[in-house]
Structure 1
């Protein structure tokens, strides 16, 4: 069996993919910037590596045929980190790289970070590697955490809708592609939930589930920037946060696909199934 490299193993998605592959008995190489935080899994070896350190990444990937590249943490130099890792994978002899991208990745995407994903995909296509791009939508798990302490979801999403996908479904899809990568060579998949919901829908759902009044306030753009000013975040990060909502408003995050079922073998998980018990 070929050894599969998995990045992002100290996070939600990479860790979930690694656990699925380990449970299937597949040999793994877990790449982690902080190896001490990596999960201890059967059939897995932990190797220190980071996206921004190309020589270390190249050493960590040497001898690997298939690798999962979970997108790096949000930062001003995220695309540069991605490019360095892709170049390291190509130099190390990786044959197939699976990349976690974002729905609607494009140079002019409303969601500013989707532009980073487009730039990464373009570099991947030019790298000579065989690749697969899994473009997931916003996480449904994330939508359920949006209410503030006052029970209000705030954002300039207007009455737009989003076909949010569960993290678990994305992990299932990524694990399936990594187990049998050949049929997915140079393919793009759009991973969504089974329906598109509005933030007002999310507020109503949480209200029914918790018994606590949850409401949605569709902010204007000036309100959105003002309400987040206290974080003192850099401009690029504020733009990213706020464009999450304006992307919903634009309708670009509303398409629903069957790609989760196509890859995972089960229907996409509805947001109602993710409510805490």
Structure 2
């Protein structure tokens, strides 16, 4: 793989990684789980590996110097999978890892999955790799999917606010960082939308965008667990679902950052713009 591109992008079959790969528009190595789903991009090569297969990751990243690591799919052992990937990247000779983390990631974050991201960040730091962390807020694109068939968003968010970010904005920041990675070594960027909204306001914006009305119905934590019990999801998954809302209620997702406009050179997208686009 001595003539392969030295920039590797993971998750290029997904919503974020695929956007980043296309925005870059340069030769890169697409690291995917399924080669048949890899995008056909000029000058790009494809390597197959899953995050929990260290030898495959090491082979896939051989010769790469900079890697865009999209966080893995939600899984009860995701931190271990991430650590396996990071260790394999270091063993492969990668020098710089750009990782998609979560806004405000800490060991005490209300949102349970943010704790996983913090653990991953700490492992990356300990690995000796140069790093850049993109700490994404909740994805604003996801808000309509939070509503049930009646257009109701239910959860214990109270009147808390969330500075949700557009997936397109995260991709644009990632592409900017990957185009000049040396300028961003050691940086941690909080990626948010331009304004923090309550879920009542989110529902109003969704309603204005159509095709049907939406509304937010606050729940208690107990009601939230009860209403999600019908899905039969494992406890860790339900904890993640509910803590998305309690993190909003706690004010942990409310602060607006200027990182998106600063790094992309344009304003961050509003929820209304996302829904109309």
Q: Give CA-to-partner distance per residue, 1:129-150, whole Å, 9 cap, x none.
A: 0000000100010113221101
Partner Cα separation in structure 1 for residue 217 and residue 248 of structure 2: 14
Q: Secondary structure at the match of 2:97?
A: strand
State which of 13, 16, 20 in structure 2 corresponds to 1:17: 20
Mapping of residues 162-177 of structure 1, within 5 Å: 162-177=162-177
Contact 1:34 1:48 in 2 (8 A): yes
Displacement after TM superposition at 1:276 (Å): 3.9
Cα distance change on mapping 1:27 and 1:3 into 2, 3 Å: farther
Take 2:241 and 2:36, find their aligned partners in 1: how far apart are those partners?
30
Q: Which residue of 1 aligns with 2:8?
A: 5
How do residues 5-154 of structure 1 correspond to structure 2 at under 5 angstroms? 5-22=8-25, 26-154=26-154
Describe the SS at the equivalent of 2:189: strand
Task: Judge conservation of contact 1:2–1:65 (CA < 8 Å) in 2.
Answer: no
Q: Which runs of 5+ in 2 are unaligned?
A: none
The aligned counterpart of 1:226 is: 226
8 Å CA contact 2:209, 2:272 repeated in 1? no
Q: Specify every segment of 5 or more residues in structure 1 that has no aligned partner in the other structure, as ranges.
A: none
Q: CA RMSD for the aligned pairs?
A: 1.2
**Does 64-73 or 31-40 show the bigger shift?**
31-40
TM-score (norm: length of structure 1) = 0.97
SS at match of 1:19: helix
Q: CA deviation at 1:41?
A: 0.8
Once residues 2 and 29 of structure 1 are traced to their aligned partners in structure 2, the CA distance between those partners, rounded to angstroms, is: 6
Q: TM-score, normalised by structure 2?
A: 0.97
Local SS of the residue matching 1:123: helix
Q: CA deviation at 1:2?
A: 5.7
After superposing on structure 2, the runs of 4+ consecutive aligned residues of structure 1 that deviate more than 2 Å are: none
Q: Quick check: 2:205–2:271 contact (8 Å CA) kept in 1? A: no
Q: 1:211 to 1:41 in 2, by over 3 A?
A: closer
Q: CA deviation at 1:172?
A: 0.4
Taking the TM superposition and a 5 Å limit, the aligned residue runs for 1:194-213 are 194-210=194-210, 212-213=212-213
The structural deviation recorded for 1:5 is 0.3
- More off after superposition, 235-244 vs 37-46: 37-46
Deviates more, 1:72-81 or 1:198-207: 198-207
| SS at 2:149 equivalent | coil
Instruction: Confirm or deny: 8 A CA contact 1:32 1:50 kept in the other structure.
Output: yes
Which residue number in structure 1 is paired with residue 235 of structure 2? 235
Task: Sort the Cα spacing of 1:123 and 1:241 in 2 relative to 1 into closer, same or farther, 3 A.
Answer: same
Matches within 5 A, 1:225-264: 225-264=225-264
**Which one is further off, 125-134 or 143-152?**
143-152
How far is 1:211 from its partner?
6.1
SS of the equivalent of 1:228 reads: helix
